[in-house]
């Protein structure tokens, strides 16, 4: 597993021309918040900063969907 992780890191670094710590720092800016109200609960990601969006594009990774979970209150 460690070898595979190192390989993926090196591929990402070579593809983007950035170091792994720099990529990780940008991608960690994407977070998920949980919001609850009378209509139910939903989980939504934050806006993706341009630097993180550029990384995802360079690595050919789809942008995560905006709403991850939506539940309505029990009747």
pLDDT digits (tens, 9 = 90+) for 2-45: 999 999 999 999 999 999 999 999 999 999 999 998 888 999 99
Q: How far is CA 46 from CA 4, 42, 60, in A?
A: 29, 13, 20
Q: Give the whole-angstrom CA distance, residue 47 versus residue 39.
A: 23
The answer to whether the CB of 34 falls within 8 A of the CB of 41 is: yes
Residue 75 pLDDT > 70, yes or no?
A: no
Q: Give the whole-angstrom CA distance, residue 4 versus residue 35.
A: 36
Helical ranges in the chain per DSSP H:
2-16, 20-27, 50-58
pLDDT digits (tens, 9 = 90+) for 64-73: 999 988 898 8
Q: Give the whole-angstrom CA distance, residue 54 versus residue 73.
A: 38
């Amino acid at each position: 597993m460690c070898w595979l992780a190192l390989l993926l890191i090196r591929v990402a670094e070579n593809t983007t021309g950035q170091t792994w710590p720099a990529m990780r720092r940008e991608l960690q800016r994407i977070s998920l918040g949980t919001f609850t109200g009378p209509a139910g609960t939903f989980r939504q990601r934050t806006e993706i900063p341009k630097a993180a969006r550029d990384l995802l594009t360079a690595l050919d990774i789809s942008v995560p969907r905006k709403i991850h979970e939506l539940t309505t209150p029990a009747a």
